[in-house]
Amino acid sequence: MIRLPPSISSNNTLLPDLTPLLDVIFIVLVFFLLTANQPLLEMPVDLPATEESLAPATAEQRREVIILDQTGQWYYRNRLQTDFASLKQQLISDAPQHLDLALHKQAPLADFLQLMALLNQLQITDTQILMETKIP
């Protein structure tokens, strides 16, 4: 029979070292996490099936321009509006369907948000924000 010295038997056990086993378990766990099926984020888009179903593009789309300068002054059709209420009355009476918004980079943001709320209220959906530095 094999006898161990008393110093070895009291401090260490005869059980195997589990450190390599933990390494293997960690590697397998990482492998499973990396290869797990992640749900793809999708956004449904309705594309027209044929070109005939597209709305016809009209060549005479007249775009109106609303300008907001750095001092908060409104211009509509290159005419100065006294305040936002007069601009609102002009938009209600004209009912433009195609608008371009030219905003100065120092223009008050609250005025811009007020205009966007008005356009949403009037259901004007064809709106473009001009990104050029030159305002007419």
Which string of DSSP letters, residue by residue, matches 10-73? HH--SSPP-HHHHHHHHHHHHHHHHHSPPPPP-------SSGGGSPPPPTT-PPEEEEE-TT--
The answer to whether residue 3 scores a pLDDT higher than 80 is: no
Between CA 72 and CA 84 the distance in angstroms is 10
Give the pLDDT confidence of 4-15 residue by residue, as tens digits.
566 554 456 677
What residue ranges do the domains of the chain occupy?
64-132
Least confident of 26-35, 43-52, 91-100: 43-52
Give the pLDDT confidence of 51-79 residue by residue, as tens digits.
665 666 555 677 888 888 888 888 988 88
